[in-house]
Structure 1
Amino acid sequence: MIRIERTGPPVYLQISRQFINAIQRGALLPGAKLPGTRRLAELLKVHRKTVITAVNELDAQGWIIVKPNVGAFVTDKPPVMKTNTLPGEYQTFRYPKETGFPFPVSSLLERPVTRVAKTLEFTDGQPDIRIAPLDKLGKAYRRVLNRKSGQQHLAYSRVEGNWYYRQQLAAYLNNTRGLPIRPDNILTTRGTQMGIFLASTLLLQPGNLVVVGSTSHYVGNMIFQQMRAKIATVPVDENGISIPALRTLCEKRKVRMLYLTPHHHYPTTVTLSAERRIELLQLAQTFGFIILEDDHDYDFHYDSSPLLPLASADTAGMVVYIGSFCKALAPGLRQGYLVAPENLVGELSKIRRIIDRQGDHVMEQALGEMLAEGEIQRHLKKALRIYRARRDLFCNELERQFGRNLTFTAPPGGLAVWTEWKEPINLLRSSQLSAEMGLHIPQTLLFQNEHLRAMRLGFGSLDEEEIIKALSILSRAVH
């Protein structure tokens, strides 16, 4: 960073100017602490008094702040200079802003910012991390690390995931979802998106046809498009995707994969009926397409026992089942899983090994122990009561504040409500006005075309007071 020329300007000026240059080009960031004067003198092989003079010069010009008995720090308000201080031979490089080589830029993967600091926010149905059992999880995690045997979880291991965790997870999925699986049927992932990506990487080729609902999850669509697959849509009604429309499509074109969220269709929250599930499995066997079943919001069902996943009735090996604990616990934990026949799990694990060697085995061990002790199950029961109350309040407030301006159905489960607006309304403009009043509504929650004006509004991450305030802001923005 600093080169001293014995035949150049005074050494203290060389030192101070090169420090200024380093600050200007970002090599020394605001708040960075400089080495002590003795240490600097040793490093630069100069007299300490020379270093002290250079530091005083930097302080006098306003480039650093000297705190007695603490040290010298780069200021966060440097002087404004039109040109770089050091010309010619004293110049050092700036890190380039752009590459010197071309590369493909994808507009498919662009996602708008989904958070504005210090504002209320409607999500697409995220949980409230304030009620997550973080204390129990923290204790379980520390317990694993504090054991002598805990060291084995920090070494390289099986890429499919922690064996004990997969044992407990297999039992949990059997008890809650009727999946008659063993640990070898499970590949752990970093959330559902990673599961979709891995399955798509292995199972899709460019030009393959993937079928989704007429309204569907934009993340899945982005992944399929990134794999250069073609996407076709089929209608979705109050009972899920249309089976006749899917059958007609299969008769005309070769379908490689069907992606769906049958428990609570994204974004409309409707549940695929039991009759359609049976027909769908029969169609998959007849036409040979893969069913990629996303276990979206399965853990949150309020009014009755939920229908079991398609994977629980799959006897022909046509379903790849994907789920996670991101909603049940906290999104940032990124703990997901993929369930499939053993031969597919084995092949997928090879791809997983390339992008993520094995995941977090310590966290998986902790989650496995929490499953064995029933901690996660108890938390889900508690969370279900909280979210049911929030759903009821949210729907009551929608009715009270918007009346006949929109239609909605109280969802039987999940953490979001699908609303359709009757009056002509510019949803994007309404979201902008809401933002000005302190409520952030991401563009990904807005569904508007010539036939549809709808919003997917998540209530799970908001408490009772926040729900009332957020809907009041939206009401003012709409009107």
Structure 2
Amino acid sequence: MSSPVKIPFKSLIVLSKQGNTPIYLQIARQLINAIQRGVLITDTQLPGSRALSEDLGVHRKTVIAAYDELYTQGWTQSIPNKGTFIRNRLNNDLPDPIKYDSDYLASYPKKTGFSFKQRILLDRPIALSTCHLAFSDGLPDTRIAPLDRLAKIYGGVLRRKTSVRHLGYSHLEGNEYYRDSLAYYLNNSRGLPIKKENILTTRGIHMGIYLASSVLINTGERVVVGNLSYYIANMIFQQAGAKLHAVPVDKEGISVEAIRALCEKETVRMVYITPHHHYPTTVTLSAERRIELLNLASKYGFIILEDDYDYDFHYTSSPVLPLASADSQGMVVYIGSFCKTLAPGLRTGYIIAPQNLIEEIGRFRRIVDRQSDMLMEQALGELLTEGEIHRHLKKAIKVYEQRCTHLSTLLKNELSDYTSFKSPPGGLALWSLWKKELNLMRISKNCAKYGLHLPQTLLYQNELTTAMRLGFGDLNTNELTEAVHILKQSVTESL
């Protein structure tokens, strides 16, 4: 049997008095860790409790408690008149004992010991940055969100005795009160003649696209997207096994003529659109094309997946009603959220569709997400009912319109020699075209030197396009002024 003298237990066990874990458990767990990793092998004798307590500088009773824990869990055995030994708990076909190494014990494996499928299309597209300023993809400003009111309502929901019904599991497609309130809100704001049975709550737009795609798309089926289109939606469709077919987008939105021509030759399963403000170019799908697209869907039997990611923000006129509001044949699946309306961290989205599809997607969702956040949905339902979200939007739209105008003025005054653009009719981002000789990645690197993060996902550069999508919603006027100043300096340095 191995002698305990050969093993440096004082270095093997590192104790911390800062955490909440009792010292005896720290000793026991680190010894178990050493056993599991093969540092302490079968039949190794542990030091006596007195000797180990002196080595570790702890009370003897602490070591005895640790040994009792090891024995209770079945890791050790006591042999009368000999001592405590590691039990033969592990497989007899263990590899040769591992030489003691403190780094080996302290670290978690960097790689798996098995192979698995790795998908390039799921690479994280957004780089993190420590810059003090950043152009976003069109995020809202959480500093102006009605969080105080939401917190008060949410706290009230938690304190109610009746809220206990929201704390258990639910087989519903979301909080019933919230879905009732949401149906009323969407009917008034978007002209959607729906009931709660037509709503499935999600945790944002991406989850909605993923759920709908997983249920509706089979491997090899064709999905039509715009050229250009939303890169994350494209990744989701590819993950579902779809074949993507890109069609042109012009000043009136996605080309319906191109979709018609494709349908005459191929079977199309789904057309993905962001009609209110096309992503990334921000153009609005014209009324004529909306009607024509609905007619084509009815004729050729394809699904229209309508992503209305920033419907609430429109500056020059009343927002154009969604295609779903005019859908009489059940061809449109409508996806929206309050992530832009309130804050991205509040993962609150929804899918609108005929009831039979909502029930099917609901069954699928329960596999990956047991249920929605019933308490938060109750609070959001009350925000909707009391009109707080409507009041917030009225204020927020004025703020965002001012920022849109300010960014447009800055770009025109400071960078008109390099870029051209049209102020967007709404949304939280501006689409700008740049001179082809500019290297956008070089400009992005220059911006980072001066504290401005210009993410790669906002840059579009190929043989035909040199463009940037610049979000203005989450930057106030002073921040926008500084950001454009840095952008101008970075552009001139890149030439």
Instruction: Give the TM-score, by structure 2 length.
Output: 0.83
Shift of 1:249: 0.9
C-alpha displacement of 1:455:
0.3
Secondary structure, aligned partner of 1:256: strand
Deviation (angstroms), 1:370? 0.7
Quote the offset at 1:95 in angstroms: 3.8
Q: 1:374 aligned to 2:387?
A: yes
Aligned counterpart, 2:148: 135
For residues 447 and 152 of structure 1, what CA distance do their matches in structure 2 show? 49
Distance 1:150 1:49, change over 3 A: farther
Residue 426 of structure 2 corresponds to residue 416 of structure 1: no
Taking a change above 3 Å as real, the CA distance of residues 33 and 180 of structure 1, as seen in their structure-2 partners, is: closer
Q: Is the 8 A contact 1:112 1:442 kept in 2?
A: no
User: 2:124 is aligned with what amino acid?
Assistant: R
Aligned length: 436
Cα shift readout 1:380-432 (whole Å, capped 9, x = no counterpart): 11111111111110110010110132111111100000000135101111111
- Code of the aligned partner of 2:389: I
Deviation at 1:114, TM superposition (A): 3.5
How far apart in 2 are the matches of 1:188 and 1:99?
36
Task: Look up the equivalent residue of 2:135 and give its one-letter code.
Answer: F
Structure 1: segments with no counterpart, 5+ residues: 57-85
Query: What is the SS of the residue equivalent to 1:315?
Result: coil
Point out the more displaced range, 155-164 or 194-203.
155-164
Determine if the alignment matches structure 1 residue 193 to structure 2 residue 189.
no
CA apart distance, 1:116:
1.0
Would the alpha carbon gap of residues 468 and 160 (structure 1) be closer, same or farther in structure 2, given more than 3 Å must change? Answer: same
In the TM superposition, what is the alpha-carbon distance from 1:115 to its structure 2 partner?
3.0
CA RMSD of aligned residues (A): 2.6
Q: Which residue of 1 aligns with 2:10?
A: 16
1:289 matched residue in structure 2: 302
Code of the residue aligned with 1:355 in structure 2: it is V
Contact 1:37 1:48 in 2 (8 A): no
Counterparts in 2 of 1:95 and 1:301: CA distance versus 1, 3 Å: same
CA contact (8 A) 1:212 1:234 kept: yes
CA separation of 1:410/1:55 partners in 2, compared to 1, >3 Å: closer, same or farther?
Answer: farther
Question: Relative to structure 1, is the Cα distance of residues 40 and 100 closer, same or farther in structure 2, using a 3 angstrom cutoff?
Answer: closer
* Aligned counterparts of 2:455 and 2:261: Cα–Cα separation in 1: 35
Q: Secondary structure at the match of 2:416?
A: helix
Q: Distance in 1 between matches of 2:482 and 2:19?
A: 42
Q: Distance in 2 between matches of 1:33 and 1:183?
A: 47
Match for 2:404: what amino acid? R
- How far apart are 1:378 and its partner, in Å? 1.0
1:356 aligns with 2:369: yes
Instruction: Please say which structure displays the higher CA radius of gyration.
Output: 2
Q: Which amino acid aligns with 1:16?
A: K
Give the match's secondary structure for 2:380. helix
**What is the distance in 2 between the residues matched to 1:191 and 1:34?**
38
CA–CA separation in structure 1 for the residues paired with 2:205 and 2:367:
18
- The alignment status of 1:393 with 2:406, answered yes or no, reads yes
Q: Assess if the C-alpha contact under 8 Å between 2:4 and 2:47 holds in 1.
A: no
Give the secondary-structure state (helix, strand or coil) at the position aligned to 2:262. Answer: helix
CA deviations 1:293-337 (Å, max 9, x no partner) are 001210001111011000000000000000000000110111000
Q: Provide the secondary structure at the position in 2 that maps to 1:332.
A: coil
> How high is the TM-score relative to the length of structure 1?
0.86
C-alpha separation in 1, matches of 2:159 and 2:297 = 48
Query: Are residue 217 (structure 1) and residue 218 (structure 2) matched?
Result: no
Match of 1:206 among 212, 219, 222: 219
Q: For 1:304 and 1:350, locate their aligned partners in 2 and report how far apart those are by CA, in whole Å.
A: 40
Residue of structure 2 in register with 1:318 after alignment: 331
- Counterpart of 2:99 in structure 1 is 87
Query: 1:378 and 1:48 mapped to 2: Cα distance?
Result: 71
**Offset, 1:436:** 1.3
What is the rounded CA distance, in whole Å, between the counterparts of 1:39 and 1:103 in structure 2?
34
Distance 1:330 1:52, change over 3 A: farther
Q: 1:64 maps to which residue? A: none
TM-superposed CA distance for 1:39, in Å, is 9.5
1:244 matched to which residue of 2?
Answer: 257
- Code of the aligned partner of 2:12: Q
Question: For the Cα contact (< 8 Å) 1:395–1:410, is it kept in 2?
Answer: yes
Change (3 A) 1:293 1:34: closer
2:275 is matched with which residue?
A: 262
